[in-house]
Amino acid sequence: MAGHSKWANIKRQKARVDAVKGATFAKISRAIIVAARSGVPDPAGNFQLRTAIEQAKAAGIPNDNIDRAIAKGAGKLSGDELEAIRYEGYGPGGVAVIVEALTDNRHRTAADLRAAFSKRGGNMGENWLRRLDV
């Protein structure tokens, strides 16, 4: 029975589940960091932060991770400086598209968006390189 290892099947299935969970955790953690940075790092006084924390709890993120994300957004912990930027582009047929991106490197994000637009027959317009109040 070569190739029928139960552990190998479990390992592949666990890797898929962990990849999805990790991506979800990272996305929600970034939302918490931006919400804490944009306002008061207290959920009682910051609706955006309260909403992000509720999403985190619904996704099953541990409380330690939530607290760490709030501390990072409040500036108590060092880490990557995330920045919200708006980009303008034109899709196929000249349809105008505005993309709001959360990034730690605006140049890499612009290149990635430019590649995505050109792959689908569109092009990038102006980069609005000003920080958004999120």
So what's the pLDDT on residue 41? 86
Q: Are residues 65 and 90 in the same domain?
A: no
Alpha helices in the chain (DSSP H): 6-38, 47-59, 63-74, 106-119
Tell me how many domains the chain contains. 2
pLDDT, position 12: 92
Q: Which amino acid is at 99?
A: V
**CA–CA gap between residue 74 and residue 38 (Å, rounded):** 9
pLDDT digits (tens, 9 = 90+) for 93-115: 889 999 888 887 888 988 999 99
> Quick one: 55 and 113 in the same domain?
no
Q: Which of 28, 44, 74 is the last residue of a domain?
A: 74
Residues 65 and 34 in one domain: yes
Q: Which domain holds residue 15?
A: 6-74
pLDDT tens, position by position, 11-23 = 999 999 999 999 9
